Amino acid sequence: MAGQGTGLPIVAIVGRPNVGKSTLFNRIVGERAAIVEDRARTTRDRMYGDAEWNSRRFLLVDTGGLEIAPDDPIEAKVQVQARLAIAEADVIVLVVDAITGLTPADREAADLLRVAKAPVFVAANKADNAARELDAAEFWELGWERTFAIAASHGRGVADLLDELVLALPPESPAELARKTRQAEADEFAADVAAGRLEPFVVDEPEGDDAGDEPELGLDIDDASGDVEAAKWDAMLAAASDDEPPAIAFVGRQNVGKSSLLNALLGEERTIVSDVPGTTRDAIDTRVAWGRSEVVLIDTAGIKKRGKVASGSAADRFSTLRSLRAISRADVAVLLIDGVDGLTAQDAHIAGYVVEEGRGLVIAVNKWDAVEDKQGSTFDQYVEWIRHEAPFLDFAPVVSISAKTGQRIHRVLELAVDVWAERRKRVPTGELNRLLTTASDRQQPPVVKGKRPKLFYATQASVAPPTFVFFAREAGSVHFSYQRYLENRLRDTFGFLGTPIRLVFRERAGIRAERRSTKRRGGGGGGRATAAVKRGR
Ligand code: GDP
Ligand code: GDP
């Protein structure tokens, strides 16, 4: 999967203040972002979002949120946005206000965007009703064929806009196609098990007060279904273990030392060279020998030397965006933080995205040479502090390095490759269920709203990231704290250093009970943007 394509495409929302950019942004990514925030227990920066429409995923950016100086004149704001969008986006959505009508600032934004190679859509927002939709017609004057009347706050017209928008995206990257294949296989597998078409193994019912009234689950696998199962596992393993070397992305804020680290590792000033038009927007990949095989290093730093599109914090924001794009096609992200600054909100934001994407994570505390008054315990205290600041990253190994002196820089790659292997690890079903039996014997799921979930069995449906499906009664009532408990048991027993793991809970009717194969509970990919947008009349 490594080394090809550019990661998820970027769709930038541009427009003068108050036209409804952030409303549109929230309409498209809102629901999913809220779920992620909840899971990561962190307030996420709402300027970037992961969206999905008609099974195409893309990164959505509200460039309005990137404005740095609130009292800049509108023209200046629009210019910054437009330039950033032209430099970075695969599709641009210019939002205008149908109530106010065309303004000079709109015209200016439009003029700037005329040079963009990326397709431009005009969204005439606040077209709340049919009469306003007619008003929106004046924006045709700007000259873009893809002009849509929408009402972001109600969702009117947004579906039609998105239908066209996803068609204008560049083709899907091999990494994205591979991810989809894995996901589809895992879904199908889990659905088959849930429907009783596949029986992964025979379980001993965990003993409990109410064990007696459960339908029996210990069904013998007959030879035929055993074969089907074996074939399925093989297919999934094949999908998971393509021969591509680990792809490792160096991500982080501006000036944390990404290019210094890469140069130190490569031993040459490579990252500054490629200022080739057309290739510069994307991160640059280098294949390097590693032990007996290879790794691919994805550099998000080299590009910054070129694009003087903005400076200061707007540039920093965009370096975040480049990190996000690189993360979407890496196996493992090495998040560099500045040892002197410590973990900042922007760092946590990038790390949150790594978790969301299910990539491996190594946290490298750079500039360790510049951290003053170090003692024997300094590093441990530092790690403890990071754990405290960002508990949702507790699975990620931390290493202190200096790109300047070369201290421990090779350890970064060692850890990244370890994490890569952990991310692809597969736990045999028997072992997994021994763990489940012990874990649920020791502690039952708590009662939620009068319902006590009961876990019957589990299976690892996919790797990269490791994804476990638990079949349960009252699957929807497994409390977050109990999910954490199970995750911790899994990690205690099987490791999974540096990789997020996913737990999916599915309703499982007993085998003798009625088979409700069509009633699949929402698993991993649930709650995406799709639900947030209603088709207009
Ligand atoms: P931004 O500055 O471009 O991000 O604009 P906002 O998303 O903050 O929206 C500015 C104002 O327009 C807010 O008061 C919104 O409630 C309002 N607004 C957004 N979308 C619509 C819409 O579809 N119809 C109407 N009538 N108002 C809207
Ligand atoms: P990037 O924007 O993340 O690619 O960061 P650079 O690699 O360009 O580094 C930003 C600045 O930090 C430069 O001035 C580097 O010399 C400095 N720097 C990078 N790594 C280290 C380090 O390990 N120690 C110290 N003291 N400075 C460093």
- Report residue 12: phi and psi, to 5°: -105, 135
Cα 114 to ligand 2 centroid, rounded to whole Å: 37
Distance CA 319, CA 331 (A): 19
Ligand 1 atom with the smallest distance to the CA of 17 is 2
pLDDT tens, N- to C-terminus, the chain (537 residues): 333 356 789 999 999 889 999 899 989 986 555 444 444 444 445 577 888 899 899 989 888 766 656 677 777 777 777 777 787 889 999 999 999 999 998 998 899 899 889 999 999 999 999 888 888 889 999 999 999 999 999 999 999 999 999 999 998 877 778 778 877 877 777 777 767 666 554 333 444 444 333 333 333 333 334 444 444 444 444 444 556 788 999 999 888 998 889 888 887 544 433 333 333 345 567 778 777 778 888 876 544 444 444 445 566 666 677 788 888 889 999 999 999 999 988 888 889 889 988 999 999 999 999 999 888 899 999 999 999 988 889 999 999 999 999 999 999 999 999 999 999 998 988 899 999 999 999 999 999 888 889 998 898 988 899 999 998 888 888 998 999 999 999 999 999 999 999 999 988 755 433 334 333 333 333 333 333 343 333
Cα 141 to ligand 1 centroid, rounded to whole Å: 22
> For strand 284-290 and strand 56-62, is the pairing parallel, antiparallel, or unpaired?
unpaired
Cα 18 to ligand 1 centroid, rounded to whole Å: 6
Residues with CB under 6 A from ligand 2: 252, 254-260, 301, 366-367, 369-370, 402-404
Cα 257 to ligand 2 centroid, rounded to whole Å: 4
CB–CB of 225/198 below 8 Å? Answer: yes
Ligand 1 atom with the smallest distance to the CA of 125 is 23
Cα-based distances in Å from 409 to 125, 249, 260, 342: 50, 14, 11, 19
On the question of a cis peptide bond just before residue 245, with omega within 30 degrees of 0, the verdict is no
CB–CB of 295/287 below 8 Å? Answer: yes
Q: Which residues of 358-388 are buried (b: 16+ CB within 10 A; e: fewer)?
A: bbbbbbbbbbbeebeeeeeeebeebbeebee
CB–CB of 28/532 below 8 Å? Answer: yes
Q: Indicate whether residue 536 lines ligand 1 (CB < 6 A).
A: no
Residue 288 CB neighbours (<10 A): 13
Q: Model pTM?
A: 0.72
Q: Indicate whether residue 153 lines ligand 1 (CB < 6 A).
A: yes
Q: Indicate whether residue 400 lines ligand 1 (CB < 6 A).
A: no
Mutate to test the pocket of ligand 1, among 14, 23, 93, 133 (most ligand atoms within 8 A of CB): 23
Please give, one letter per residue, the 3-state secondary structure of 30-83: HHHHHHHHHHHCCCCCCCEEEEEECCEEEEEEEHHHHCCCCCCCHHHHHHHHHH
Cα 255 to ligand 2 centroid, rounded to whole Å: 6
Ligand 1 atom with the smallest distance to the CA of 152 is 23
CB–CB of 321/88 below 8 Å? Answer: yes
Instruction: Confirm whether 10-167 and 247-423 share one CATH topology.
Output: yes
CB–CB of 296/284 below 8 Å? Answer: no
Distance CA 70, CA 319 (A): 21
Q: Which ligand is nearest to the CA of 350?
A: 2
CB–CB of 319/291 below 8 Å? Answer: no
Which CATH number does the domain 10-167 belong to among 1.10.10.60, 1.10.357.10, 3.40.50.300, 3.40.630.30? 3.40.50.300
What pLDDT, on a 0 to 100 scale, did the predictor assign at position 494?
Answer: 94
Q: Indicate whether residue 17 lines ligand 1 (CB < 6 A).
A: yes
Mutate to test the pocket of ligand 1, among 14, 16, 18, 72 (most ligand atoms within 8 A of CB): 18
Q: Which ligand is nearest to the CA of 300?
A: 2
What pLDDT, on a 0 to 100 scale, did the predictor assign at position 242?
Answer: 54
Cα 260 to ligand 2 centroid, rounded to whole Å: 6
Domain covering 247-423, topology: Rossmann fold (3.40.50)
The residue length of the chain stands at: 537
Q: Which ligand is nearest to the CA of 365?
A: 2
CA atoms within 13 A on the CB side of 510: 12
| Per-domain boundaries in the chain | 10-167, 247-423
Q: Indicate whether residue 18 lines ligand 1 (CB < 6 A).
A: yes
Q: Which ligand is nearest to the CA of 95?
A: 1
- Report residue 459: phi and psi, to 5°: -150, 150
Cα 441 to ligand 2 centroid, rounded to whole Å: 51
Cα 254 to ligand 2 centroid, rounded to whole Å: 9
CB–CB of 96/102 below 8 Å? Answer: yes
CB–CB of 200/459 below 8 Å? Answer: yes
> Running DSSP on this structure, what letter comes out for residue 532?
G
Ligand 2 atom with the smallest distance to the CA of 336 is 3
What pLDDT, on a 0 to 100 scale, did the predictor assign at position 125?
Answer: 97
**Nearest CA, atom 27, ligand 1:** 126
Mutate to test the pocket of ligand 1, among 47, 153, 154 (most ligand atoms within 8 A of CB): 153
Q: Which ligand is nearest to the CA of 406?
A: 2
